């Protein structure tokens, strides 16, 4: 993710009020999920020390079993030290990385049994560290009915754009959230599509029952990642509306943030099939490995989900607009509810917007990004498309 537009004026009072308000009528919460099967967890701890001037990296081999979930947490004491963590499979391919957190956290599913490895690397300074690895095995639960795809209501034959101020405003922290089916009926349907290039991604969804692991620093994962299905269909703006409704967020805020992130492109490539920077692809070379190699894009889709920081989001963060927006909504709502460990104040939506970009709480990068999004909120460039 990167800021690509010059920072302009702050948002209008009308928009700021829309973000702070809670005008949506609260809906019934989704039905309770089935009780999960009992699971078993083994914990392994490694210690070591790395520093830029000296032994800069250390590799810890670990045997992992297929079908388990591994959670690795790297903690260190030195204030000026900055350590990174990477998980590699038995073939030596990086499958997950954590480079922007403190502590660094990785969560990943293990598809094959073998000797995997965790690499600790000193990005800045150095420090002694403790690396904790949890390997969890969950018995296969009894089959449960798969959810039905979200219905798509008949679209009227008009090409109207969204009104200034949008259709939805923010629900309060910890509010009951509407279901996918409820939000499908609240979307204002229109044939307006400023990004016809997104048509294929707009109609692509994860398989029914797909569960994303998500970023590991979020409390109450069943109420965030557990609600991510990516099953809605429609135009790009209809998908914005749907997931703004589902997560109790202002749709105009999402439109503005999508301008800052991707200019509303889910994934545009050139005539040779190469990803175009700023058109659904960004942060080239920021993650090791991945679908396009170490020099390829790390951030994908309309909301620029960085695959190495958000395990389990590939391939749908790139191929499905609905999944991309659903995942974004889950993280922002979790942060707004005060469940994200980065969050300093529950109910600070702008803080969560900045956290989406920088991974920090009102740090310099976050403040610059917030100003950029507020500028787009004020100018509403999509109304001129």
Domains of the chain, start order: 13-32+145-384 (no CATH), 40-137 (2.60.120.380)
- How do residues 239-258 score in pLDDT, each as one tens digit? 999 999 999 999 999 999 99
199 versus 2: which is more confidently predicted? 199
What b/e sequence results for 252-268 when a residue is b if at least 16 CB atoms lie within 10 Å of its CB, and e otherwise? bbbbbbbbbbbbbbbbb
What is the predicted pLDDT for the residue at 276?
96
290 versus 30: which is more confidently predicted? 290
pLDDT of 173 over the 50 cut = yes
12 versus 255: which is more confidently predicted? 255
pTM of the predicted structure, to 2 decimals = 0.64
Average pLDDT, whole number, for the chain?
Answer: 85
How far is residue 289 from each of residues 58, 112, 285, measured CA to CA in Å? 19, 18, 9
Band (pLDDT 50/70/90 cuts) for residue 155 is low
- DSSP H helical segments within 174-320, as ranges? 180-186, 199-202, 236-247, 251-262, 316-319
- How do residues 258-294 score in pLDDT, each as one tens digit? 999 999 999 999 999 999 999 999 999 998 877 888 8
Mean pLDDT of 80-89: 84
Band (pLDDT 50/70/90 cuts) for residue 5 is very low
Strand order in the sheet with 40-51: 40-51, 126-137, 69-76, 104-109
Q: Are strands 126-137 and 69-76 parallel, antiparallel or unpaired?
A: antiparallel
124 versus 134: which is more confidently predicted? 134
Residues facing residue 51 across a β-bridge: 126
Closest CA to 312 of 36, 69, 48: 69
- DSSP H helical segments within the chain, as ranges? 13-20, 180-186, 199-202, 236-247, 251-262, 316-319, 321-336, 349-358, 364-379
For residues 308 and 85, what is the distance between their CA atoms, to the nearest angstrom?
Answer: 10
Long-range contacts of 16-19 (CB under 8 A, 24+ apart): 18/165, 18/166, 18/169, 18/170, 18/250, 18/252, 19/169, 19/170, 19/250, 19/253, 19/349, 19/350
For residues 104 and 101, what is the distance between their CA atoms, to the nearest angstrom?
Answer: 5
Token pair in block for residue 354: 């900045």
126 versus 94: which is more confidently predicted? 126
- How do residues 216-227 score in pLDDT, each as one tens digit? 888 899 999 999
What is the predicted pLDDT for the residue at 351?
96
**Contact by Cβ (8 Å): 327, 229:** no
- How do residues 295-351 score in pLDDT, each as one tens digit? 999 999 999 999 988 988 999 999 999 999 999 999 999 999 999 988 878 999 999
Closest CA to 121 of 55, 44, 216, 217: 55
Band (pLDDT 50/70/90 cuts) for residue 149 is low
Band (pLDDT 50/70/90 cuts) for residue 53 is confident
The answer to whether the bond into 315 is cis (omega within 30° of 0) is yes
**Contact by Cβ (8 Å): 79, 127:** no
Share of the chain above pLDDT 70, in %: 85
- How do residues 229-241 score in pLDDT, each as one tens digit? 999 999 999 999 9
**Contact by Cβ (8 Å): 317, 305:** yes
Residues facing residue 117 across a β-bridge: 61, 88
Phi, psi (5° rounding) for residue 67? Answer: 85, 0
Report the number of secondary-structure helices (H) and strands (E) in the chain: 9, 11
DSSP line for 6-71 = ---PPPPHHHHHHHH---SPP-PPPPPPPPPPP-EEEEEEEEEEEESSS--EEEEEEEE-TT-EEE
Q: What is the chain's alpha carbon radius of gyration, rounded to the nearest angstrom?
A: 21
For residues 41 and 135, what is the distance between their CA atoms, to the nearest angstrom?
Answer: 5
**Contact by Cβ (8 Å): 66, 112:** yes
Per-residue DSSP letter, 112: S
**Residue 186 half-sphere exposure toward CB, CA atoms < 13 A:** 22
Under DSSP, is residue 114 helix (H, G, I), strand (E, B) or coil?
A: strand
Token pair in block for residue 255: 């439109």
Q: Are strands 82-88 and 297-300 parallel, antiparallel or unpaired?
A: unpaired
Mean pLDDT of 38-57: 84
């Amino acid at each position: 993710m990167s800021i690509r537009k010059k920072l302009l004026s702050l948002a209008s009072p009308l928009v700021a009020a829309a973000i702070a308000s809670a005008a949506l009528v609260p809906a019934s919460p989704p039905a309770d999920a089935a009780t999960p099967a009992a699971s078993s967890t083994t914990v392994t701890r490694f210690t070591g020390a790395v520093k830029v001037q000296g032994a800069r990296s250390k590799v810890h081999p670990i045997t992992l079993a297929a079908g388990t979930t591994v959670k690795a947490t790297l903690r260190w004491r030195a204030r000026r030290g900055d350590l990174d963590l990477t998980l590699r499979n038995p073939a030596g391919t990086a499958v997950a990385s954590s480079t922007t957190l403190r502590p660094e956290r990785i969560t990943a599913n293990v598809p094959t049994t073998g000797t995997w490895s965790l690499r600790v690397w000193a990005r800045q300074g150095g420090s002694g560290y403790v690396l904790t690895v949890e390997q969890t095995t969950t018995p296969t639960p009894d089959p449960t009915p798969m959810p039905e795809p979200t219905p798509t209501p008949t679209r009227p034959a008009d090409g109207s754009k969204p009104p200034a101020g949008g259709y939805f405003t923010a629900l309060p922290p910890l509010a009951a959230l509407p279901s996918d089916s409820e939000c499908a009926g609240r979307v204002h349907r229109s044939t307006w599509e400023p990004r016809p290039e997104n048509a294929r991604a707009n109609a692509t969804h994860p398989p029914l029952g797909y569960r994303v692991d998500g970023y590991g620093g979020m409390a109450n994962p069943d109420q965030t990642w557990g609600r991510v299905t990516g099953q809605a269909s429609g135009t790009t703006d209809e998908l914005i509306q749907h997931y703004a409704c589902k997560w109790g967020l202002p749709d105009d805020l999402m439109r503005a943030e999508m301008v800052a992130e991707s200019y509303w492109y889910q994934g545009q490539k050139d005539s040779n099939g190469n990803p175009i920077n700023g058109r659904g692809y960004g942060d080239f070379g920021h993650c090791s490995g991945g679908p396009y190699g170490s020099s390829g894009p790390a951030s994908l889709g309309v909301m620029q989900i960085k695959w190495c920081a958000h395990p389990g989001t590939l391939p749908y963060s790139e191929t499905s607009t609905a999944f991309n927006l659903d995942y974004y909504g889950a993280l922002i709502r979790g942060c707004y509810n005060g469940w994200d460990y980065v969050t300093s104040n529950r109910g600070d939506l702008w803080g969560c917007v900045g956290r989406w970009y920088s991974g920090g709480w009102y740090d310099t990068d976050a403040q610059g990004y917030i100003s950029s999004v507020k500028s787009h909120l004020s100018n509403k460039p999509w109304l001129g498309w």
